[in-house]
Amino acid sequence: MLTIQEYFDTLRGKSIAVIGMGVSNTPLIRMMLRAGLKVTVCDKAPREKISEQARELESLGARLRLGPDYLTKLYKFDLIFRTPGLSPNTPELKEAVEHGSVLTSEMELFFQLCPCTLVGVTGSDGKTTTTTLISEFLKEAGKNVYVGGNIGRPLLPDVSGMEHDDYAVLELSSFQLMTMQQSPHIAVVTNLSPNHLDYHHTMEEYTQAKTNIFSHQCAEDRAVFNQDNDITRQLAKTAKCTPTMFSRKEKLEDGGVYLRDNAIWLTNEIGSREVLPLSMIRIPGVHNIENYMAAIAAVDGIVPDKCVRAVAQRFTGVEHRIELVRELDGVRYYNDSIGTSPTRTQACLHSFEQKLVLIAGGYDKHIPFTQFGDEVAQHVKLLILTGDTAQAIREAVEQAPSYPNSGIEIVMADDLAAAVGLARERVKAGDVVVLSPACAAFDHFKNFMERGKKFKELVNQL
């Protein structure tokens, strides 16, 4: 395996383009410039928006191509690192590849150079919590762990200090996986449902991108799949290793992770055992039981069960995931801004035993709301809608079979601040208010984290 310096030596004399100077690419750009490589940085932002960062990179020797024409003549470059948010099907990238340019990414380079065990987690929902649980289990067992991908920080700058016995645990999106030619040693697919169809355009393309997390594995690797999800259950049949299944609904006593007697059990070639009583899990919702199952399957044989139990008894969840913000006048307010898809918000709705006051709506990812509308009608007493998808969600709820007898009230709000204000006016002691938008945040916010922080700020000001 090449060291990072040996890899940079192979690039001398080549013209390199890096598209996007975001969080993941900027460390890569700095490293290549300090190695004396010829790098052109392409970003759609105008100079006035990124002037400080632009000056820094230029001082290191970068050439900049900024603004609306940042993708022109990419075919002139030998090597192109794309930002995950730019599809490889973009015409300018396809043209460059046809002319002989090599297309890669910061994450693909990390996979090539990482000397330690790679653990990758993907899926439509549950990625961050499952990734976090796996990393916490490994740390509790005394392992040296690096956490990255969509969470944590870019790990490429750390690669030269990594040892063979370390672990790199990565949350991987479909955007990152789309052009991957290498899979992690341990791959987890939490579930799959329609998502990011504004980017992938078809469910087939989205699913195909996700398969790269396990399709390049070998027989000695490990692949974990959700038995209860129709898509992942079928994908498991194509794994090159013997798949490890987990199920909340079936007893997989012939092999897998499953529920039995209010506990998570695991059966493998050695036998069956109880790993974790459900009473020890501190985060609410059946979807989090599934996240624990997936994480337990990933670390079986690596982490002792006592370490799993120790983590469960202290782990209170990840920010923006059914996060209790405060209780005011007997009303609990929860931040579930990570609810960026209908299925994710549905999981949130099922985490509570009472009907909720739900704040929803946001950026349109072109995902249908039909099934979501019926779930909302059954589990929500007051629906407050805002954002680009507000009308579409309203129509889905009003057309749902359970709507006529639901008693649900639907109100529209101009923005998140107005939505929080409406909730405050209408709630009474004992109510639960949840922000779980079922949509991305890009209509009004940079990302779901910014949206969640704004919600918490608004709630704490009440």
For residue 94, give the CATH number of its domain: 3.40.50.720
Q: Is residue 148 part of a domain?
A: yes
**Shared-domain flag, residues 260 and 178:** yes
Q: How many CB atoms lie within 10 A of CB 59?
A: 9
**Shared-domain flag, residues 148 and 200:** yes
d(CA 384, CA 161): 50
pLDDT at position 195 is: 59
CATH number for the domain that contains residue 143: 3.40.1190.10
pLDDT at position 405 is: 95
**Shared-domain flag, residues 396 and 440:** yes
d(CA 400, CA 380): 13
**Shared-domain flag, residues 380 and 276:** no
Q: Is residue 7 part of a domain?
A: no
Backbone angles phi, psi at 244, to 5 degrees: -105, 120
Contact 383, 411 (CB under 8 A): yes
Question: Considering its fold, how many domains does the chain have in total?
Answer: 3
Mean pLDDT, range 227-248, rounded to an integer:
97
Summarize pLDDT for 60-79 with one digit per residue, the tens. Answer: 999 999 999 999 999 999 99
Q: Is residue 10 part of a domain?
A: no
Q: How many residues does the chain have?
A: 462
Q: Which residue has the tokens 């820094």?
A: 56
HEC secondary structure over the chain: CCCHHHHHHHCCCCEEEEECCCCCHHHHHHHHHHCCCEEEEEECCCHHHCHHHHHHHHHCCCEEEECCCCCCCHHHCCEEECCCCCCCCCHHHHHHHHCCCEEECHHHHHHHHCCCEEEEEECCCCHHHHHHHHHHHHHHCCCCEEEEECCCCCCHHHHHHCCCCCEEEEECCHHHHCCCCCCCCEEEECCCCCCCHHHHCCHHHHHHHHHCCCCCCCCCCEEEEECCCHHHHHHHHHCCCCCEEEECCCCCCCCEEEEECCEEEEECCCCEEEEEEHHHCCCCCHHHHHHHHHHHHHHCCCCCHHHHHHHHHHCCCCCCCCEEEEEECCEEEEECCCCCCHHHHHHHHCCCCCCEEEEECCECCCCCCHHHHHHHHHHEEEEEECCCCHHHHHHHHHCCCCCCCCCCEEEECCCHHHHHHHHHHHCCCCCEEEECCCCECCCCCCCHHHHHHHHHHHHHCC
**Shared-domain flag, residues 309 and 173:** yes
CA 133 to chain centre: 14
Q: Is residue 5 part of a domain?
A: no
Q: Is residue 1 part of a domain?
A: no
Lowest model confidence (mean pLDDT) among 85-89, 248-252, 296-300, 416-420 = 85-89
CATH number for the domain that contains residue 389: 3.90.190.20
pLDDT at position 198 is: 62
**Shared-domain flag, residues 150 and 280:** yes
**Shared-domain flag, residues 60 and 126:** no
**Shared-domain flag, residues 302 and 342:** no
Find the domain containing 192 and state its range. 109-314
Contact 267, 255 (CB under 8 A): yes
Report whether pLDDT(200) > 60.
Answer: no
Contact 25, 81 (CB under 8 A): yes
Report whether pLDDT(144) > 60.
Answer: yes
**Shared-domain flag, residues 308 and 348:** no
Report whether pLDDT(394) > 70.
Answer: yes
Confidence band (pLDDT; 50, 70, 90) for 22?
confident
Query: Among candidates 182, 168, 134, which has minimal Cα distance to 302?
Result: 134
Q: Is residue 393 part of a domain?
A: yes
Whole-model pTM: value is 0.81
Report whether pLDDT(196) > 70.
Answer: no
Contact 364, 392 (CB under 8 A): yes
**Shared-domain flag, residues 153 and 227:** yes
Pairing verdict, β 222-226 and 244-247: parallel
Q: Is residue 406 part of a domain?
A: yes
Contact 254, 267 (CB under 8 A): yes
Report whether pLDDT(280) > 80.
Answer: yes
**Shared-domain flag, residues 349 and 429:** yes
Report whether pLDDT(177) > 60.
Answer: yes
Mean pLDDT, range 164-173, rounded to an integer:
97
Report whether pLDDT(153) > 90.
Answer: no
Mean pLDDT, range 306-333, rounded to an integer:
93
**Shared-domain flag, residues 91 and 202:** no
Q: Is residue 242 part of a domain?
A: yes
Lowest model confidence (mean pLDDT) among 67-71, 123-127, 291-295 = 123-127
pLDDT at position 439 is: 96
d(CA 292, CA 288): 6
Summarize pLDDT for 415-453 with one digit per residue, the tens. Answer: 999 999 999 999 999 999 999 999 999 989 999 999 999
Mean pLDDT, range 367-396, rounded to an integer:
96
Q: How many CB atoms lie within 10 A of CB 285?
A: 20
Pairing verdict, β 256-260 and 272-277: unpaired
pLDDT at position 301 is: 97
